[in-house]
Structure 1
Amino acid sequence: MVRHKVAAQVEEAAAPMAAALGLELVDVVYVKEGGNWYLRLFIDREGGVTLDDCQAMSEKLDRWLDEVDPVPQSYHLEVSSPGLERPLKKPDDFRRFQGRMIQLSTFAPVEGRKKFTGLLVGAGEESVQLEIQGRQLVIPMEQVAAARLKAEF
Structure 2
Amino acid sequence: MSNQLVRDLEHLAGQTASKEGYQIVGLHVLANTNPMTIQVQIRQKDGTDVSLDDCSGFSFPMETAIENSNLFKASYILEISSPGLSDILKTDKEFETFKGFPIEVSTKNKENIEVIQSGLLHTRSKDHLLINNKGKVSKIPRENVIQVRLASPTG
Shorter chain as denominator, the TM-score bin is 0.5 to 0.7
Match in the other structure for 2:68: 67
Distance in 2 separating the partners of 1:120 and 1:133 = 6
Root-mean-square deviation (Å): 3.4
Q: Name the CA distance, whole Å, in 1 between partners of 2:56 and 2:151.
A: 29
> Could you list the per-position Cα deviations for residues 87-138 of structure 1 after superposition, in whole angstroms to 9, with x for gaps in the alignment?
xxxxxxxxxx7858xxxxxxxxxxxxxxxx97599xxxxxxxxx5527xxxx
Query: Contact 2:107–2:115 at 8 Å: present in 1 too?
Result: no
TM-score, normalising length: structure 2: 0.52
Q: Could you tell me how far apart the structure 1 residues matched to 2:150 and 2:32 are?
A: 26
AA partner of residue 25 (structure 2): V
In the alignment, structure 1 residue 58 sits paired with structure 2 residue 59: yes
Equivalent residue, structure 2, for 1:79: 80
* Residue of structure 2 equivalent to 1:147: none
TM-score normalized by the length of structure 1: 0.53
- Matched position secondary structure for 2:31: strand
* Contact 1:6–1:30 (8 Å) recurs in 2: no
AA paired with 1:133?
I
Matches of 2:74 and 2:115 in 1, distance apart? 45
Q: Does 1:15 align with 2:14?
A: yes
Identity of aligned residues (%): 23
* 1:84–1:151 contact (8 Å) kept in structure 2: no
Find the aligned partners of 1:77 and 1:22 in 2 and give their Cα distance.
19
Distance 1:83 1:33 in 2: 24
Superposition pairs for residues 34-113 of structure 1, below 5 Å? 34-45=33-44, 46-85=47-86, 99=90
Report how far residue 70 of structure 1 moved: 0.6
Point out where structure 1 has 5 or more consecutive residues left out of the alignment: 87-96, 101-116, 122-130, 135-149
Structure 2 unaligned residues grouped into runs of 5+:
92-103, 109-113, 118-148
Structure 1's 83 and 22: CA in aligned 2 closer, same or farther, altered over 3 A? same
Identify which of 123, 133, 136 aligns with 2:116.
133
Change (3 A) 1:18 1:30: same
